[in-house]
Amino acid sequence: MRLFVALPLPAAVQEHLDLAVNALTDGAADGPGGRGGPHPVRWVPAEQRHITLAFFGEVPDGAAAGIQAALAVSLGGFGPLRLRLRGAGVFSRRTLWVGVQEDQHGTEPDRLLTLMARCEDVGEDFTRMQRRDRHRAHVTLARLSARRPELDELAGRAHALSVYEGPPWTAEHAVLVSSRPGAGRSGGPLYEVVAAIPLGA
């Protein structure tokens, strides 16, 4: 099975982001609810949006329990994170994302990146995953399925969302998720939560 660990988005955060995305697309055929047929811009369904902490890839079925236990130990004393969605951009001219801002008023900066590193440490013990050199947490909103003139359109939408700022929330747990490519809606992936991992006090 394919596994990853992520921070879920609360309903209020999803709803606020939906308003921004829907205003941006304004019912266009290529928008999240558009009905204009196949389009190179593929929007991520709201229920699949998340903040990826680490992607483990294919793992043996029997390894899931061990990964869950190791994550519980590694993240158990980490403590909650105060976050909000803010800003936007495009990765490799093909992936539209909204950024994640951490409240860093405490004594330890970049706790979200530290959390990502801890999750990747667990993954390296159980899988052949490749550690990513990541410096920005994000939520993927849409992807381009082909190199088309819509590239400029995607960049324009990122520019429009660059001023976006969502409501703050406290992340108190991560989730270990299984992914089945092609088994979800419209041929997309099907995500199923394997376990919730508390971040501790």
Q: Which is it for strands 95-102 and 138-144: parallel, antiparallel or unpaired?
A: antiparallel
158 φ/ψ angles, rounded to the nearest 5 degrees: -65, -40
Asked if pLDDT for residue 5 goes beyond 70, the answer is: yes
Mean local confidence (pLDDT), 168-180: 95
Sheet holding 50-58, edge to edge: 50-58, 2-8, 173-180, 190-198
DSSP state of 46: G
Q: Which of left, alpha, beta for 20 (phi over 0: left; psi -120 to 50: alpha)?
A: alpha
Catalytic residue among 16, 50, 105, 135: 50
Cβ neighbours of residue 33 closer than 8 Å, sequence gap 6 or more? 22, 27
The residues pairing with 41 across neighbouring beta strands, listed in sequence order, are 144
pLDDT at residue 21, as a whole number? 92
Catalytic residue among 16, 39, 105, 138: 138
Asked if pLDDT for residue 36 goes beyond 60, the answer is: no
Q: For residue 14, what are its two tokens? A: 């999803």
Q: Which is it for strands 173-180 and 190-198: parallel, antiparallel or unpaired?
A: antiparallel
Place 186 in a pLDDT band, splitting at 50, 70 and 90: low
16 is catalytic: no
Asked if pLDDT for residue 42 goes beyond 90, the answer is: no
Asked if pLDDT for residue 6 goes beyond 80, the answer is: yes
pLDDT at residue 76, as a whole number? 92
pLDDT at residue 25, as a whole number? 73
Select from 163, 15, 171 the least CA-distant residue to 80: 171
**Which tens digit of pLDDT belongs to each residue from 51-62?**
999 999 888 878
DSSP state of 165: B
pLDDT at residue 154, as a whole number? 85
* CATH pick for 2-198 out of 3.30.450.20, 3.40.920.10, 1.10.3720.10, 3.90.1140.10: 3.90.1140.10
pLDDT at residue 127, as a whole number? 77
Tell me the C-alpha distance between 89 and 140, whole Å. 10
Mean local confidence (pLDDT), 166-179: 96
Q: Taking the mean position of all CA atoms in its chain, how far away is CA 186? A: 19
Place 35 in a pLDDT band, splitting at 50, 70 and 90: very low
Asked if pLDDT for residue 43 goes beyond 50, the answer is: yes
Tell me the C-alpha distance between 70 and 136, whole Å. 24
**Which tens digit of pLDDT belongs to each residue from 75-129?**
998 999 999 999 999 988 789 999 999 986 655 668 999 999 999 999 888 877 7
138 is catalytic: yes
Mean local confidence (pLDDT), 130-158: 77
